[in-house]
Chains A and B, each alone.
Chain A
Amino acid sequence: MSERKYLAGEFFLSGDDACAEGAISAGCCFFAGYPITPATEIAERMAERLPEVGGNYIQMEDELGSMAAVLGASWGGVKAMTATSGPGFSLMMENIGLGIITETPCVVVNIQRAGPSTGLPTLTGQGDMMQARWGSHGVYSIIALSPSSPQELYDLTIKAFNLSEKYRLPVLVMSEAATGHMYEKVVIPLPGEIELVPRRKPTVPTSDYLPFKPDPDLVPPMANAGEGYHLHVSGLTHDERGYPAMTAEAQDRLVRRLVDKIEQNKAEIIELEEDGIRGAEVVVCTYGISARVSQIAVERARGEGIRVGMLRLVTVWPFPDDRIRDIAREVKAFVVPEINYGQIALEVERCACGRAEVVLVPHMGGGVHAPETILAAIRRAVR
């Protein structure tokens, strides 16, 4: 058995490996998964690394079971995750919904490939962004992060665990094959230098504890199974005791809170990276691997004298409505390059509300945009 536990220092890692190391740094002790290209390397590294830190890897029979096991493990008191790609992400939707209604902290990583269906298993895509938002049935809000580099796959996996514990829900890390399989320098801090959010535990006596009674920020403290609370946790609409409550009133109370605990804490959740937006005529709104390509296009456009800014969505969901609305008042147009036929562009359009034009630069998947394609869109947008 290897002596290594927590790595620290500079490493040359793939995005998938960096994601796994981020999970280890975050204190993840459980991974349930099923092999799927291009996310398999995360499972492989977790299978190797978890026993070194006292955790467990379990290979499930499918992604339905993987997601269910992750929820079970979280209630068993450990930080838990899974990683998959499109077809597996579709199967996980069922129990992501259970994670939402039972307020179960966990992390789901989607290394996107091109779809629909089996599509292009080894090649990149960003076609699951709307599925991330709406893929499970019913009414809810979600948190999804979009890393642009192996370093960010490390950093944002830690952030995803922190957000999941803080707001008690499955948090999605929406990356792509291009980033997952990219090798770059990844800096891993010493364990003491990483900020980790612990699970919020009940402070009242066992007999007074109501498992779904929220604190003022709308998030309830969480007891784990085996701690003597005799919890009831159900996928049915429930009251503060966790008991099924089959009325429109109970539904309103619960579901409104599940949405509001995200929407009312947006300012704290949303992370954006902005560059040269003040005074810009056009802003490229981008995320994930597309931001890397956009960066080249933006620099070339600036070389041509075009006043172009860049807004990178590190947090994709909840969507930064207010910021897009503000920018829409100042610019002529948004350019939105995506490896799909327009998903986040629809959100930008919704928030721009006709005040600024929204130019979608679609790519059906299998590769990333050529910078020239984005540059051409920027040129057209300022014309």
Chain B
Amino acid sequence: MGEVGLKKHPLDDYLRVERVPHIWCPGCGLGLMVNCFLRALVKSRLDLDKVVVVSGIGCTGRGAGYINLDSFHTTHGRAIPFATGLKVANPELTVVVISGDGDLVAIGGNHLIHAARRSIDLTVLCVNNFIYGMTGGQLGPTTPLTARTTTSLRGNSDEPLNVPYLAAASGAAYVARWTTAHVRRLEKAVTEALLKKGFSLVEIISPCPTYYGRMNKQGTGLEQMKYYRDNSVIKSGLDPKQVAIEFNGQIIVGKFIDLG
């Protein structure tokens, strides 16, 4: 490795570097997500002693463990209610939930709806890779129709949830969607979400080359990123009802809800 390996990354202070290497697969988008979150955190100028990360279970759920803040790795689906308790007990804290689509939208879907309804001041980063990665590639709540997974080998026959629409309909104050290919825009959205009073949700479309990509012939992580670049359409302000994702279709990204 030589000198390159000895160089300190500008974000090292915000990471538990002693825990690196992380468990995520090559080509996974979660590293980019963490990078964007940390840059947003720096930009937000929040007191880092007062920012807490809460995760559920799954690949994204491991995020809390790598970020050098007060961080809680809770049970599957329960990151939002845990975060709710933290925020109510100590309103000085900025509480960020970082978890996956399976955790937040399937097993924890009820909590997502009700936290948004309550307008509790949380920032939720929902990483959507269209599949359950940690358990080896099963059908999830966001898996597009006809997509293959280990529990839908003949193609998914269940309609997926449109996450921004769900959050907006439940009362979220801020809703955006970006992919891990939109690092600058994602960083900006996360910064806005962190500083937003009320319930904010950023959906982050992220490649899973190991399972979703392989089973659906989408290639490596890099090829999936190129797909995002070529097939994403920015339509900020669009009614989130119209941002559902179809299999191998275009991905509408942007800021959909930003209540004053």
Contact = CB atoms under 8 A, between A and B. Distances in A.
Contacts of A228: 49
Contact of A69 (B71, B77, B88): B88
A68 B90 CA distance: 15
B86 A233 contact: no
B110 A70 contact: no
Interface in B47-98: 48-50, 52, 54, 57, 64-65, 68-75, 77-78, 80-90, 92-93
A95 interface: yes
B88 A58 contact: yes
A61 interface: yes
Sorting the interface of chain A by its residue count into under 10, 10 to 19, 20 to 34 or 35 or more gives: 35 or more
A187 B57 CA distance: 46
A30 B91 CA distance: 13
B70 A230 contact: yes
Secondary structure at the B interface, as helix, strand, loop or mixed, is helix
A98 B75 contact: yes
Contact of A233 (B73, B81, B90, B110): B73
A94 B65 contact: no
Interface of A: 29-30, 32, 56, 58, 60-62, 64-66, 68-78, 80, 94-95, 97-98, 102, 224-236, 243-244
A227 B71 CA distance: 12
28 contacts: A30-B88, A32-B85, A60-B114, A64-B77, A64-B81, A68-B82, A68-B85, A72-B83, A72-B84, A72-B85, A72-B87, A73-B88, A73-B89, A76-B93, A78-B90, A95-B78, A98-B74, A98-B78, A224-B90, A225-B72, A225-B86, A225-B90, A226-B90, A226-B93, A227-B49, A232-B16, A234-B72, A236-B73
B19 interface: yes
Interface of B: 16, 19, 48-50, 52, 54, 57, 64-65, 68-75, 77-78, 80-90, 92-93, 110-111, 113-114
Contacts of A224: 90
Contacts of B54: 72
Interface centre among A98, A226, A227 (most CB of B within 10 A): A226
Contacts of A243: 16, 19, 65
Contacts of B114: 60-61, 65
Given A58-B85, A58-B88, A66-B81, 7 more contacts: A30-B85, A32-B85, A76-B88, A226-B49, A227-B49, A232-B65, A243-B65
